[in-house]
């Protein structure tokens, strides 16, 4: 037999009972969820910025970062909605490398999903406590949704997961926005099919139960660039790309047509400082066209306290151990500029 069963994990209900979300924090989440939902349904014209480290590997530095973000939020909240990027699961192109705090709570230690689920939930709740901001995370494992359904305000479905039926059907049961990224190939039809699927009801098997969902009207596209057949990165954040996506939306039975532009990954050719220029170009396109203005609801930015990245074990506080990120100083300046341009 190819499977070795290491340990039985606690259920979502058991984890939630052990680490509950306090009523006052639940109230914050309800308010935030409504405000974010209103952007995607067109009731609110604020601009969403999902911003934070590539991977949330350390609770102290992550909570330090979101505290700074909360102070910034107070200054720009009339124009922007800041959503901390607290990604606790990391997809790996080859399957190797650090896969996030949920599977490896100590980046230098061994895999331990039990300890990881506790570390992940503790960090997400602590971040809300210190900042008053609810976060975004990526759903790498659909079965894990129950562990975070009461604490997240945004969920991304990654480029390697967006074609998977279980991800699509699970996203159809979210009560928060689900950002469906274009696949690594860049195929927009695949992404739009994923949005359509997530917006509609489904019956399927989930965690040993037959379940039924109502569909998620807040499912939407995320443009993150692509990798072509020769292994070269190509961008899809330009004016023409956004205009094309708007037209493709119009040809489909999809409600609340929306897109978030991921300024890093293949869009930046993994040159992290290019995120600054890309975000400004997206805002220029948004201001040039009323159709694009209506379509583009926000951007994603990879940012941490220190610029760049480090190898696991170097121990530099607030510096990414996965993809390189903008520094806090550059992020703060960029957020002011986004507020001015949005």
Encoded tokens for 246: 């708007």
pLDDT of residue 96: 73
Residue 1 has pLDDT above 80, yes or no: no
CA 130 vs CA 18, 83, 216, 219, 297: distances in Å:
20, 14, 30, 29, 26
Residue predicted with more confidence, 98 or 257: 257
pLDDT of residue 97: 78
Report pTM.
0.97
Beta-sheet pairing, 178-181 with 47-52? unpaired
CA 167 vs CA 157, 159, 342: distances in Å:
7, 11, 32
Give the CA diameter of the chain: 59
Residue 99 has pLDDT above 90, yes or no: no
Q: What is the mean pLDDT of residues 140-161?
A: 97
Residue 282 has pLDDT above 80, yes or no: yes
Q: What is the mean pLDDT of residues 271-292?
A: 98
Contact by Cβ (8 Å): 151, 20? no
How many other CB atoms are found less than 10 A from the CB of residue 124?
27
Residue 95 has pLDDT above 70, yes or no: no
Residue carrying the six token digits 């604490």: 151
What percent of the chain lies above the pLDDT cut of 70? 99
List the one residue out of 52, 13, 29, 37 whose CA is nearest residue 125.
29
Q: pLDDT tens digits for 214-273? A: 999 999 999 999 999 899 999 999 999 999 999 999 999 999 999 999 999 999 999 999
The CA-based dihedral angle spanning residues 248, 254, 88, 68, taken in that order and rounded to the nearest 10 degrees: 80
* CA–CA separation, 251 and 254 (whole Å): 9
CA 119 vs CA 152, 175, 234, 259: distances in Å:
15, 24, 36, 31
Cβ neighbours of residue 78 under 8 Å, at least 6 residues apart? none
DSSP 204: E
Q: What is the mean pLDDT of residues 68-89?
A: 97
Residue 305 has pLDDT above 80, yes or no: yes
């Amino acid at each position: 037999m190819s499977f070795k069963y290491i340990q039985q994990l606690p259920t979502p209900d058991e984890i939630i009972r052990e680490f509950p979300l306090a009523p006052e924090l639940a109230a914050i989440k309800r308010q935030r969820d409504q405000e974010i939902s209103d952007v995607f349904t067109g009731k609110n014209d604020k601009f969403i910025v999902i911003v934070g480290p590539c991977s949330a590997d350390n609770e102290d530095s992550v909570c330090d970062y979101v505290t700074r973000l909360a102070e910034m939020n107070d200054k720009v909240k009339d124009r922007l909605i800041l959503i901390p990027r607290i990604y606790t699961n990391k997809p790996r192109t080859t399957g190797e490398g650090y896969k996030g705090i949920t599977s490896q709570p100590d980046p230098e230690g061994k895999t331990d999903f039990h300890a990881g689920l506790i570390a992940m939930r503790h960090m997400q709740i602590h971040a809300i406590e210190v900042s008053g901001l609810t976060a975004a995370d990526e759903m790498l494992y659909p079965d894990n949704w129950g562990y975070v359904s009461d604490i997240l305000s945004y969920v991304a479905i990654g480029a390697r997961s967006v074609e998977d039926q279980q991800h699509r059907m699970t996203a159809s049961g979210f009560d928060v926005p689900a950002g469906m990224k274009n696949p690594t190939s860049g195929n927009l039809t695949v992404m739009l099919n994923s949005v359509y699927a997530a917006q509609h009801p489904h019956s399927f098997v989930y965690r040993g139960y037959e379940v039924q969902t109502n569909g998620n009207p807040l499912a939407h596209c995320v443009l993150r660039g692509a990798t072509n057949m020769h292994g070269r990165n190509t961008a899809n954040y330009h004016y023409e790309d956004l205009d094309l996506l708007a037209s493709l939306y119009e040809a489909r039975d999809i409600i609340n047509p929306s897109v978030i532009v991921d300024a890093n990954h293949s869009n930046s050719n993994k040159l992290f400082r290019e995120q600054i220029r890309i975000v400004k170009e997206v805002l220029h396109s948004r201001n040039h066209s009323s159709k694009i203005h209506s379509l583009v609801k926000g951007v994603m930015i990879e940012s941490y306290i220190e610029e760049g990245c480090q190898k696991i074990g170097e121990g530099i506080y607030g510096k990414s151990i996965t993809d390189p990120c903008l520094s806090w100083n550059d992020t703060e300046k960029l957020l002011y500029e986004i507020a001015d341009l949005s």
